[in-house]
Amino acid sequence: MTLPEKLHLIGIGGAGMSALAFLLKEMGFDVSGTDPALDPDLQNKLQSAGIKAFLKHSSENLKGRDVVVISSAIPERNEELQVALRMGVPVVHRVDVLCRLARVKRTIAVAGTHGKGTTTAMIGYIFQESGFAPSFYDGAELINYGKRSWVGEGKHFILETDESDASFLKIQPASAVITNVDRDHLNFWGEFQALKDGFRKFASRASENLVLSEGAQEDLRLERSRACLYGLAPKSDFQLVQDLPQGTGLKVKFLFQGKKWDFPLPLLGEHNALNALGAVAMAFLEGIEIDRSLSALSSFKGVKRRLELKGEKGGVLIFDDHADHPTEIFRTLNALRPLNRRTVCVVQPHRYSRLKSLLNLYGQAFEFADAVFVLPVFSAGEEIDYGMTGKEVKEAINIAFPQKMAQFLDREELFKKLRITLRKGDLLIFMGPGDIDKLSERAMFELND
């Protein structure tokens, strides 16, 4: 597919779509988009970059556009999509555009149920700081650069892929990373085994280098000789032996080729130490010396909405995090334990389909929270399912941990409860991929000093 000059992105406010918009604009394309739920700050950034961003669907928005770009999050009934089809404007999927961009570069693709955004960001940061000038695409924004995507003069294109709709199977990378495989997106895949088969196919598409976590290698039953492994077990090429908490970061120690290495990582959590090893492994296979990678990671500030410290208010540390899957929630809360603070968690369940398929796992996920407030489900465009509201998460937590007395409430009730509940020395974390990040910002303004 040859990309025409003028592209219109429906759902331009989404993380992946906005990243694509900026990437295309930087490459010289004429880009516009529509999203009724567009965040005002993002709208300003888009318009400052010369990208027209509309809040209302209209046939006027499509005038003069050569092609319309959508993601799987855009339903067929979408008003502007229907207009495009009636007008005869070609409609393509986001991944088809990314494939076209990847075709002219040496592509490094990252996949996995958890940690792929952070791992992609780490690889991109290592390459950029090492002078390789890669092109880059990620759904997560690098705090160091304030960007999700950019165009570089180097030969590499580093990108995060999407397994939720099998679109990652269209990418043909030279090198690939799989961080892990967990039960998710079963509304699309049907069975967990089908999802595993999808990841196996993705692994087979890497023409040269394949980096796997030891867990991914075991779950997918891939040949040991096929991949470079990272993990906790001695069989791993990059073996994590220690991640010692230091303030809001870690001192990471690992073994590679019989040599001990260590470096400071300004992030919390064993999962981030493992993400870092995956990134170092890929960089090594692509020709970047380990010392160089570790030097870069020592200044890596992380990505937005991944255990992001927003600040301190009234002696309460406030974090914002993207976690929605029970595994991610558990790991994130576990990562905060070294701070030795009472942890108050506000969670916004994401998608009715995910809640239905994973409900039995949510209760145990909050083991390391001292108090939990559950908000209504963020639908992410799904049809309302009145059988699932979010209250089910509260009930699952209280069955698993009656002493936590989790509560289900709306946003206004939440802030009343927070003012009563929080005390100096606490930690408050907002969790979920939806619009809950606005509440972490609000907390920084409204909670008492």
Is there a domain that residue 303 lies in? no
Is there a domain that residue 195 lies in? yes
**Which two tokens mark 155?**
């030969």
Is there a domain that residue 165 lies in? yes
The pLDDT tens digits of the residues spanning 375-384 come to 998 887 777 7
Average pLDDT of the chain to the nearest whole number: 92
For residue 31, give the CATH number of its domain: 3.40.50.720
Angstrom distance (rounded) from CA 426 to CA 103: 49
Q: Last residue of some domain: 238, 272, 297?
A: 297
Residues 316 and 240 reside in one and the same domain = no
- Give the number of domains in the chain: 3
Is there a domain that residue 99 lies in? no
Per DSSP (E only), the strands in 278-381 are: 308-313, 316-321, 343-347, 371-374
Angstrom distance (rounded) from CA 135 to CA 119: 15
Is there a domain that residue 432 lies in? yes
- Give the range of the structural domain holding residue 21, as residue numbers without chain letter: 6-94
Residues 266 and 347 reside in one and the same domain = no
**Which two tokens mark 83?**
């207009």
Angstrom distance (rounded) from CA 189 to CA 197: 10
Look at residue 288 and give its three-state secondary structure: coil
Determine contact, residues 176/208, Cβ cutoff 8 Å.
no
Residues 224 and 292 reside in one and the same domain = yes
Residues 74 and 202 reside in one and the same domain = no
Q: Average pLDDT of 256-282?
A: 96
Residues 264 and 152 reside in one and the same domain = yes
Residues 314 and 281 reside in one and the same domain = no
**pLDDT band at 2, cuts 50/70/90?**
low
DSSP 417-449: HHHHH--TT-EEEEE-SSTTHHHHHHHHHHS--
Q: Last residue of some domain: 40, 68, 94?
A: 94
Q: Average pLDDT of 374-401?
A: 84
For residue 130, give the CATH number of its domain: 3.40.1190.10
Residues 171 and 270 reside in one and the same domain = yes
Residues 315 and 216 reside in one and the same domain = no
Is there a domain that residue 147 lies in? yes
Say which amino acid occupies 213.
S
Is there a domain that residue 250 lies in? yes
Residues 265 and 172 reside in one and the same domain = yes
Residues 123 and 223 reside in one and the same domain = yes
The pLDDT tens digits of the residues spanning 113-167 come to 999 999 999 999 999 999 999 999 999 999 999 999 999 999 999 999 999 999 9
Q: Average pLDDT of 176-197?
A: 93
Count CB neighbours of 146 within 10 A: 9
For residue 346, give the CATH number of its domain: 3.90.190.20
CA 237 to chain CA mean position, Å: 26
Q: Last residue of some domain: 46, 74, 94?
A: 94
Residues 337 and 410 reside in one and the same domain = yes
Is there a domain that residue 302 lies in? no
Residues 338 and 392 reside in one and the same domain = yes
What pLDDT was estimated at residue 352? 84
